[in-house]
């Protein structure tokens, strides 16, 4: 589309937002954009509709069809309401659960959504204040709801907000319902189609009644309560980074028996501005700096942090020199599954039908641990809805004991169907207590895993490409990889290439085979002869293309980490050079 045509389309779209269906403040902001001589912001706000994708909505807050506001949220809720009323038309009363995080406008969007659902005859269970995403997932199942939504942009910067839709199993929506909901949302053509006038009789406020049941269930996953009794003074530093983790994580740790928990006071303040961090992402070292500062001052054993909606957990511990180091998402997931498998076996809790799940971009060391211990492991797409799908498919047949992904998400139970940092934090504290009981640290445990199962180092390279031009650039990069697939990466021949868009795998000799996955996905993977794994995918929630790199090595002893890590860093640099990143 030429620039002139684009601008005409954008202006026409913006002018439709000047109708009486929109509130006075919105109309004034849209008029200001139209009057501005520089059309850049107008184009960004209106060049497309904020897409209600398979994961819901996520975007920058502001006016316009490509922004998070009461009208884009309203259209999503109206479309979801229409789909629920069609899909469950024989049900006497359809019900939904609504949760939200600490972000600016999250409560407003939650209350407006509650009004819209109720205006469409749907009963609403609305949390009285911010709550972790996993608790909302639990509440859907506990209350017997048909759907649920959470207003959150997870760990995105403060300018963002989001809207995630869930189905009756407590998991994010999958086929065929995802496409069905998207179709209904797309039919909502203007604000006039949205029923904003709520029915208060259909809105029920929930809170402590769900908190206590959920926390009791979380406590039930403890594998070794006796080790906690022996190590109840384990020194724990926790930060919710201004988000929902403050509501339940300290309480959960206390319920498990941990008596020496220190919360970072400046970050126990609820705020959508996240004033003490650049970005509220526990994957970033900067977000944990205040927690590590506190940990150093009190000589703590472990640091743990949750993102704003408390589904991701980040952690830090002391290395063999007593220095605080961050443990990445792959390592965290590996430690969780290693502990669960090892200790369930040791305590005679295995019955033989257990399974674990990881995503295709998560470390292959997890497969090594599962295989050696005769535990079935499933690989699935990125996103916890796919882990939840695997749990659902095996329900009543096999026992799920844990699953996770490299992006700092883990789920140790099946009564929640999304990643859960509340249970992850408590289980992490138990693992730390178990290690301390043997005179070890979490770092020592990680080193033991590397010695027994082989060393791997993983890194993710994010190329951020904002706006329309960025989206075009990302598309061109993926097309180029498909048109010109690499023959070697980092000096090692590509032995296997997988394209999840075509569901075809091609080996080094050119032989093609089918990939067994539930649907296609825009992901490319390359496996080289020296054990390196590269995964390339555009992010589904942020304007970036992601390169996941995993390289293999050997560690002869726990003290050999430095040399193994140095060799891996060198190999990663060679891989990046090969890929042009």
Q: Catalytic positions, please?
A: 154
CB atoms within 10 A of CB 133: 32
CA 409, CA 125: separation in Å to the nearest integer? Answer: 26
35 CB-side CA count, 13 A: 7
Q: Is 421 helix (H, G, I), strand (E, B) or coil?
A: helix
- Residue 99 has φ and ψ, to the nearest 5°, of -125, 170
CA 352, CA 433: separation in Å to the nearest integer? Answer: 27
Q: Is 224 helix (H, G, I), strand (E, B) or coil?
A: coil
Do the Cβ atoms of 168 and 146 come closer than 8 Å? yes
Q: Among candidates 348, 357, 353, 101, which has minimal Cα distance to 240?
A: 101
CA 386, CA 380: separation in Å to the nearest integer? Answer: 6
Q: Tokens for 394?
A: 């095996």
CB atoms within 10 A of CB 235: 16
Query: What interhelical angle do 329-346 and 421-437 show, nearest 10?
Result: 60
Residues near 503 by Cβ (< 8 Å), separated by ≥ 6? Answer: 514, 515, 516, 517, 520
State the Cα torsion 67-69-71-73 to the nearest 10°.
Answer: 90
Q: Among candidates 437, 427, 421, which has minimal Cα distance to 344?
A: 427
Q: Tokens for 169?
A: 């199993």
Q: Among candidates 110, 97, 87, 113, which has minimal Cα distance to 179?
A: 87
CA 243, CA 306: separation in Å to the nearest integer? Answer: 8
| DSSP state for residue 557 in the 8-state scheme | S
CA 192, CA 290: separation in Å to the nearest integer? Answer: 47
- DSSP states of 76-137 as a string? HHHHHHHHHHHHTTTSS--EEEEEE-SSTTHHHHHHHHHHHHHHTT-EEEEESS---HHHHH
CA 180, CA 95: separation in Å to the nearest integer? Answer: 18
> By CB neighbour count within 10 A (0-12 exposed, 13-18 middle, 19+ buried), where does 296 fall?
middle
The angle formed by the CA atoms of residues 128, 129 and 130, to the nearest 5 degrees, is: 140
CA 233, CA 249: separation in Å to the nearest integer? Answer: 17
Across-strand partners of 315? 304, 327
CB atoms within 10 A of CB 375: 22
> By CB neighbour count within 10 A (0-12 exposed, 13-18 middle, 19+ buried), where does 89 fall?
exposed
């Amino acid at each position: 589309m030429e620039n002139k045509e684009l601008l005409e389309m954008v202006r026409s779209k913006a002018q439709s937002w000047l109708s009486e269906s929109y509130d006075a403040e919105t109309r004034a902001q849209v008029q200001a954009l139209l009057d501005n001589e520089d059309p850049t912001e107008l184009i960004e706000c209106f060049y497309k509709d904020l897409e209600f994708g398979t994961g819901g909505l996520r975007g920058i807050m502001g006016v316009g069809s490509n922004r998070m506001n009461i009208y884009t949220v309203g259209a999503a809720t109206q479309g979801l309401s229409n789909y629920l009323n069609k899909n469950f038309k024989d049900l006497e009363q359809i019900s939904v659960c609504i949760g939200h995080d600490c972000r600016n406008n999250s409560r407003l969007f939650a209350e407006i959504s509650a009004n819209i659902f109720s205006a469409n005859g749907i009963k609403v269970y609305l949390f009285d204040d911010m709550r972790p995403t996993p608790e909302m997932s639990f509440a859907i199942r506990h209350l017997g709801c048909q759907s649920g939504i959470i207003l959150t942009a997870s760990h995105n910067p403060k300018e963002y907000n989001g809207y995630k839709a869930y189905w009756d199993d407590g998991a994010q929506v999958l086929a065929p319902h995802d496409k069905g909901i998207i179709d209904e949302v797309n039919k909502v053509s203007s604000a006039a189609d949205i029923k904003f006038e709520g029915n208060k009789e259909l809105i029920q406020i929930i809170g402590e009644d769900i908190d206590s049941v959920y926390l009791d269930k979380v406590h039930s996953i403890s594998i070794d309560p006796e080790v906690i009794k022996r190590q109840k003074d384990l020194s724990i530093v926790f930060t919710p980074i201004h988000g929902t983790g403050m509501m339940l994580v300290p309480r959960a740790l206390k319920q498990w028996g941990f008596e020496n928990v220190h919360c970072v006071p400046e970050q126990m303040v609820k705020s959508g501005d996240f004033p003490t961090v650049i970005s509220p992402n526990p994957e970033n070292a900067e977000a944990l700096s205040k927690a590590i500062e506190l940990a150093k001052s009190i000589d703590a054993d472990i640091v743990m942090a949750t993102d704003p909606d408390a589904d991701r957990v980040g952690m830090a511990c002391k290395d063999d020199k007593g220095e605080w180091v961050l443990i990445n998402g792959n390592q965290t997931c590996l430690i969780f599954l290693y502990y669960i498998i090892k200790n369930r076996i040791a305590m005679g809790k295995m019955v033989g039908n257990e399974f674990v799940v990881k995503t295709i971009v998560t470390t292959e060391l997890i497969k090594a641990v599962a295989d050696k211990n005769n535990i079935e492991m499933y690989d699935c797409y990125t996103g916890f809805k796919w882990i939840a799908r695997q749990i659902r498919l095996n329900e009543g047949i096999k026992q799920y004991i844990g699953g996770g992904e490299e992006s700092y998400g883990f789920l140790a139970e099946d009564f929640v169907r999304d990643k859960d940092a509340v249970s992850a934090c408590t289980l992490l504290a138990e693992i730390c207590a178990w290690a301390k009981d043997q005179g070890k640290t979490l770092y020592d445990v990680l080193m033991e895993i590397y010695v027994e199962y082989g060393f791997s180092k993983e890194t993710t390279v994010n190329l951020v490409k904002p706006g329309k031009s960025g989206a075009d650039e990302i598309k061109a990069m993926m097309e180029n990889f498909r048109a010109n697939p690499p023959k070697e990466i980092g000096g090692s021949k590509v032995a296997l290439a997988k394209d999840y868009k075509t569901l075809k795998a091609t080996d080094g000799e050119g032989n093609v085979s089918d990939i067994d996955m539930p649907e296609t996905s825009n992901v490319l993977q390359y496996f080289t002869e020296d054990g390196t794994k590269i995964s390339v995918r555009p992010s589904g929630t942020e304007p970036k293309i992601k390169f996941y790199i995993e390289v293999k090595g050997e560690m002869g002893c726990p003290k050999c980490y430095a040399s193994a890590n140095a060799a891996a860093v060198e190999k990663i640099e060679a891989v990046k050079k090969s890929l042009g990143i």
